[in-house]
């Protein structure tokens, strides 16, 4: 049932370039308190809905974000979930795709918009992209369909001309205003003169899912690593990495459709690690496409060795999903099973 109450959006400021100012001594950009940001966007008061704000005690450059900060954002959303119609998270661009992916797993049964945005230029600069991104993110978070339902019911990234699914997105440019993309999933919306939503790409919870209450998972297990293959990778280095004390899971970035060397030492090390209980997930180094481990013998050997196909997962979604699953204290078999299947729209299994 559509509500007749005035829409309320909670804006959570975590830091990032959008709110930074130049340090007069070093000339480097540093995070700045929120008032500075709001002072530069008087247009917020012209919106036909209410915007309230919450700021991190110490705004961060997102390169310093870790799972504790993701948990802080998730907790703020949980505490305010019933009181607001949507959430906008202001965040640095560098690790935005990791935060978006992590939150998509941590916020189970989410049915309200969580729109993450930031900017390439500080909001105080004349040519800033921050003002437009901020205002559009607020409008996306407040958007309802003609029946009065939220249009966005998932974690998304809004940047310049597009709205992307959070766990499908990646930062692909350090200089362009269109800094984000999704290489394997269409945009949730295109931003031009208007905001044009792609209904077929948006997340639509089932009736049963709609009845569930928001469940926040704060446990993220960071005993995970990437193994990035390259021609010439050394046996002693791979052995060292696979035997890192405490590590439970590895995201292996492989060539093309999921291929790796078939040299006996390599396959032996992988097999031994899997036999010891290590979860190894295969994702491709290609920015577009999926792993197809049965296409070439090189991929098939990995499958035979017990490596799990990660389909078209982004590196950001793969590593945060693994942290989330291990954080739930699931058995190794359960982690493997769930790494192979979508749980929050993060992968397509062909």
Interface ranges with ligand ASP (CB under 6 A): 15-17, 61-63, 92-94, 118, 120
Strand duo 224-228 + 8-15: pairing: unpaired
User: Using alpha carbons only, what angle is made at residue 13 by residues 114 and 217, rounded to the nearest 5 degrees?
Assistant: 50
What's the closest the beta carbon of residue 22 comes to ligand ASP, in angstroms? Answer: 14
Residue 207 to residue 149: CA distance in whole angstroms: 13
Contact 328, 270 (CB under 8 A): no
End-to-end CA distance of the chain: 37
What's the closest the beta carbon of residue 15 comes to ligand ASP, in angstroms? Answer: 6
What's the closest the beta carbon of residue 92 comes to ligand ASP, in angstroms? Answer: 2
- State how far Cα 59 lies from the chain centre: 19
Q: Closer to ligand ASP at the Cβ: 13 or 87? A: 13
- Catalytic residue numbers read 17
What's the closest the beta carbon of residue 96 comes to ligand ASP, in angstroms? Answer: 7
What's the closest the beta carbon of residue 315 comes to ligand ASP, in angstroms? Answer: 17
Locate 327 and state its tokens: 């954080």
Residue whose CB is nearest to ligand ASP in the complex, by number: 92
Cα-based torsion angle of the residue sequence 266, 318, 241, 263 in order, rounded to the nearest 10 degrees: 10
Q: Closer to ligand ASP at the Cβ: 111 or 320? A: 320
Residue 82 to residue 90: CA distance in whole angstroms: 20
Question: Which one, of 73, 147, 136, lies nearest residue 110 by Cα?
Answer: 73
Contact 53, 34 (CB under 8 A): yes
What's the closest the beta carbon of residue 199 comes to ligand ASP, in angstroms? Answer: 30
What's the closest the beta carbon of residue 112 comes to ligand ASP, in angstroms? Answer: 25
- State how far Cα 222 lies from the chain centre: 16
Alpha helix stretches (DSSP H) within the chain? 34-39, 67-80, 96-106, 130-142, 207-211, 235-242, 264-275, 297-304, 315-327, 332-339
Helix axes 297-304, 264-275, angle to 10 degrees: 30
Residue with tokens 């205002």: 135
Helix (H, G, I), strand (E, B) or coil at 98: helix
Question: Which one, of 310, 311, 312, lies nearest residue 322 by Cα?
Answer: 310
Q: Closer to ligand ASP at the Cβ: 62 or 284? A: 62
Residue with tokens 């040299």: 263
Strand partners, 249: 224, 279
């Amino acid at each position: 049932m559509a509500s007749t109450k005035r829409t309320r959006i909670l804006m959570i400021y975590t830091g990032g370039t959008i709110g930074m100012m130049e340090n007069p001594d070093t000339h480097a950009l540093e995070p700045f308190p929120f008032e500075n940001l709001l002072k530069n966007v008087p247009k917020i008061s012209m919106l036909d809905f209410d915007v309230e704000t919450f700021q991190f005690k110490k705004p961060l450059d997102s390169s310093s974000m870790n799972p504790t900060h993701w948990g802080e954002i998730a907790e703020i959303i949980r505490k305010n979930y019933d009181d607001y119609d949507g959430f906008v998270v202001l965040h640095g661009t560098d690790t935005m795709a990791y935060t978006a992916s992590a939150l998509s797993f941590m916020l189970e049964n989410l049915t309200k918009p969580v729109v993450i945005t930031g900017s390439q230029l500080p909001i105080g600069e004349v040519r800033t992209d921050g003002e437009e991104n901020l205002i559009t993110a607020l409008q996306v978070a407040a958007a309802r369909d003609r029946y009065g339902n939220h249009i966005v019911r998932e974690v998304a990234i809004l940047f310049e001309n597009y709205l992307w699914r959070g766990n499908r997105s990646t930062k692909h440019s350090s200089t362009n205003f269109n800094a984000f993309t999704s290489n394997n999933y269409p945009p949730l919306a295109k931003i031009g003169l208007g905001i044009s939503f792609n209904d077929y790409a948006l997340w639509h919870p089932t009736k049963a899912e709609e009845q569930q209450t928001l469940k926040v998972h704060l446990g993220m297990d960071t005993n995970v690593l990437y193994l990035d293959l390259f021609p010439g990778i050394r046996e002693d280095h791979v052995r060292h990495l696979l035997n890192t004390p405490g590590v439970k899971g590895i995201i292996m970035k492989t060539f093309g459709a999921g291929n790796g060397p078939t040299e006996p030492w390599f396959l032996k090390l992988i097999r031994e690690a899997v036999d010891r209980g290590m979860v190894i997930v295969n994702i491709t180094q290609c920015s577009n496409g999926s792993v197809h481990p049965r296409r070439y013998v090189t991929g098939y050997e990995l499958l035979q060795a017990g490596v799990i196909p990660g389909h078209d997962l982004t590196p950001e979604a793969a590593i945060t999903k693994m942290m989330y699953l291990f954080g739930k204290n699931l058995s190794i078999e359960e982690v493997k099973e769930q790494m192979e299947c979508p749980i929050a729209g993060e992968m397509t299994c062909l």
